[in-house]
Amino acid sequence: MKIIVGLILMLFIANGSFGQSADSLLNVAKNSPDDQKAIVYNQLAKRYRTSDSAKTIFYAKKALSWAQKHNQAREIGLAYFTMGDANYYASSFQEGKKYYKLAEPFFIGTCDTAYLIETYNSLGLVDYYLNQNQEALMYYFKGLELCRSEKTLESKADFYTNIAMVHRLMENHQEAINYYYKSYKINKQIHDTASIAVNFNNIASAYQYSGKLDSAKYYFRKSLNLFQKQGNRVRESIALSNIAVVFFLMNDSLDKALDYQQQAALVFNELNDNRNIAYVEQSIGSIYSKMGKYPEAIEHLTQSLELTKRFNLGFEILKINYEALSEVYEKKGNFQEALKYYKLFSMASDSLLNQEKMKQITSLEKQYETARKEAEIQQLQSEKELAEVEIRKNKLIRQLGFVVIMLLLVLVFYISVRYFDRQKSNRLLMAQNRKIEKSERELQKLNAAKNKFFSIIAHDLKNPFHTVMGYSYLLHNEYDEFTEEERRKYAGDIYLSANNILRLLQNLLDWARSQTGRLTYNPQPVRLERIYENAISVLSPVAEQKQISLSCQIDESLIVFADPLMMETVFRNLINNAIKFTHEGGWVNISASSAGPMAEICVADNGTGISSEDQKNMFRIDSKVKRRGTSNEDGSGLGLILCQEFIEKHGGKIRVESEPGQGSRFFFTVPLSTRHKPQKVGTPTV
């Protein structure tokens, strides 16, 4: 009889019964044989995976439980895969990756190629969103190896597109173009014209970002033709706007850029697509600004701004419009209006940063909400089962009196479980509160970093530019009015300011890349003396101008295991600081020695020294410690913070010993390479 019921259930599934309601499926699951329950619960979980993560996980866990009882490997894999999907659609990518990894061995064991392809594609996507590019590529290539039949050509094209996306993110534009083209060739083979149009658009974008504007224009036009043939008005208008951007970047084709954006605007207006209308109006305003037609530019930028506010389109486009209006009014010479819109731009930027942090907090809250809803579903299910027990009890109470005692025991057990569940929920709530408090502290730290960044851009980066522009203007317009000595002085000041700008920009770029996680840490065995030589080649002219002697005691055989570029940045910042705060005729000495598994480097000077109060705050991003050098050199305070981050990434530490008027000594440590054999210290060089 059990075998017959099982066959009927399989026919029920094969004939599309899952178009029925969730309650019907739930009844099927309850009434089906135990070895078929996992199949039905997996189908139940799958139908909620994009809409209700809590229900998906609840039913997937039931499927997993039944599948494990009956050793059903494929259904175990499906349950894990569905839980991965639930977390993916809830943007919990790290949790989703965990479940996809659990599903993988079961699909390998059952030789389920179709689901294994989906699993590798999903693993690649979560790593893509987690910015783990190399792992994403690994999974995409694993999936690609499985796409060997005609049935998997569409999946193969998708993998090539996803691989290209990762290369775009890594700024490997030529690689991205190659893989987009491979995807296009497959779509051409299977006559998928919609995907071909998208392929052309992607290829064009890759060419645009790589600076090959003629190629970008060619492929954007090909995609435009296909979208027009398909009658896809939305894609057609986007392609028109993309072509306009290419002409805008080509500088000598602003009239064509304007024409294409106006065509795009007509289509977006027909579609009542207010968001894209706002973006196109902003782009038209920027084109007019570049053409020097400032009244027209202001008109279109203002129209974009009004649409943004009326339809609440977000801070990003609001920020772009405020910045563009500030630039147009500045070009017109209306500095009051320019300042007004620059202030609004700054406020919008702050709001955008806060909005990103709110998204992170909301994501935590969403995870908590999913757990809470899952508990509620469990509770409702328990209550429903209890009601069924009560019905059965009423039928049997006339026959078996002892059932009353059993029900009392069940009730006591239920109350105990509810009590412990409540205790568990309270602990979860406390844990979530601690996470939120931690997020608030991180937000404060990020806000301080943002303030530091804007302070550097608004003041420290602007001042040396003023010096360069002022002195260069005087030399250009009144060259014959100055003596040779004055000209040399002005040229020297211009050189110092330009050097200061270069150093600050290098620090800003390194710091920004480290904060966004895009700075690659690539340690390798490297001679410490070589790092010093690379750093000092840039700084020697600065030291010579102040008549400061540089000396070095680094064993030429001293090899450390470090990232060469990071270490060069540390050397450059510490030596530059020593030069800056040392009087003319002074000295700066760099030495190194091995201490166990680490190398300790010291940068010493006989300069102005540092007060104990400044020493406490000099490595903090939110500190106000900023001092001018002995020749009135400016500083941002960012260099030491960058040094500390790079040294800690190597597992080392940085410290300072200094007294006012007695000079300073900065010590930091990095790991020694196993190839290093300590020898006698070489002769110091000056």
Could you tell me how far CA 555 lies from the centroid of its own chain?
A: 41
Q: Which two tokens stand for residue 546?
A: 């102040």
pLDDT for 34: 87
Number of domains in the chain: 3
Q: 659 lies in which domain range?
A: 520-671
Question: Beta strands 559-562 and 587-595: pairing type?
Answer: unpaired
Provide the 8-state DSSP code for 685.
B
In this structure, are 638 and 660 located in the same domain?
yes
The pLDDT averaged over each successive group of 10 residues in the chain (686 residues) is 35 41 68 86 86 88 93 94 91 92 94 93 92 93 90 91 91 92 92 90 90 90 89 87 87 84 88 88 90 91 90 83 89 88 82 50 50 57 60 73 80 83 82 82 66 54 68 80 82 77 70 67 92 86 89 91 90 91 94 91 94 83 70 74 89 93 94 63 35
- Coil/strand/helix, residue 664: strand
Helix (H) or strand (E) holding 644: helix 638-649
Per-residue CA distances from 650 to 131, 545, 636, 671 (Å): 21, 34, 24, 7
Q: Are residues 524 and 600 in the same domain?
A: yes
Residues 10 and 71 in one domain: yes
pLDDT for the residue numbered 432: 84
| End-of-domain residue from the set 191, 215, 232 | 191
153 in any annotated domain: yes
Side chain identity, residue 333: G
pTM: 0.48
Residue 645 in any domain: the answer is: yes
Q: Do 567 and 658 share a structural domain?
A: yes
How many Cα atoms occupy the beta-carbon half-sphere of 436 within 13 Å? Answer: 16
Nearest residue to 525 via CA among 423, 335, 675: 675
Residue 494 lies in a domain: no
Instruction: Please tell me whether residue 633 adopts helix, strand or coil conformation.
Output: coil
Per the domain annotation, does 155 fall within a domain? yes
User: What is the per-residue pLDDT for 202?
Assistant: 92
DSSP summary character for residue 672:
B
Residues 169 and 76 in one domain: no
Q: Which two tokens stand for residue 489?
A: 């002085």
* Whole-angstrom distance, CA of residue 59 vs CA of residue 67: 12
The total of other beta-carbon atoms located within 10 Å of residue 296's CB is 17
**Taking Cα atoms as reference points, which of 40, 51, 107 lies closest to residue 76?**
107
CATH code at position 594: 3.30.565.10
Shared domain check, 182 and 75: no
Same domain (yes/no): 14, 96: yes
Q: How many CB atoms lie within 10 A of CB 217?
A: 22
Q: Is residue 225 part of a domain?
A: no
- Is residue 458 in some structural domain? no
The last residue of one of the domains, among 61, 87, 111, is 111
**Are 666 and 630 found together in one domain?**
yes
**Structural domain contains residue 350:** no
Q: Judge if 609 and 587 occupy the same domain.
A: yes
One domain for residues 529 and 608: yes
DSSP-based three-state secondary structure for 235: helix
Do 147 and 24 have their domain in common? no
Domain CATH for 131: 1.25.40.10
Q: Which of 79, 116, 81, 74 is nearest to 97 (CA)?
A: 81
Instruction: Among 89, 111, 133, give the residue marking a domain's end.
Output: 111
Do 565 and 611 lie in one domain? The reply is: yes
Q: Is the dihedral of CA 255, 258, 262, 268 positive or negative?
A: positive
Backbone φ/ψ region at 559: left (φ over 0), alpha (ψ -120 to 50), beta: beta
Rounded CA separation 537/539 (Å)? 6
- Give a yes or no: residue 467 inside a domain: no
How far apart (Å, rounded) are the C-alpha atoms in residues 635 and 608? Answer: 15
Q: Which two tokens stand for residue 47?
A: 């139908």
- CATH number of residue 48's parent domain: 1.25.40
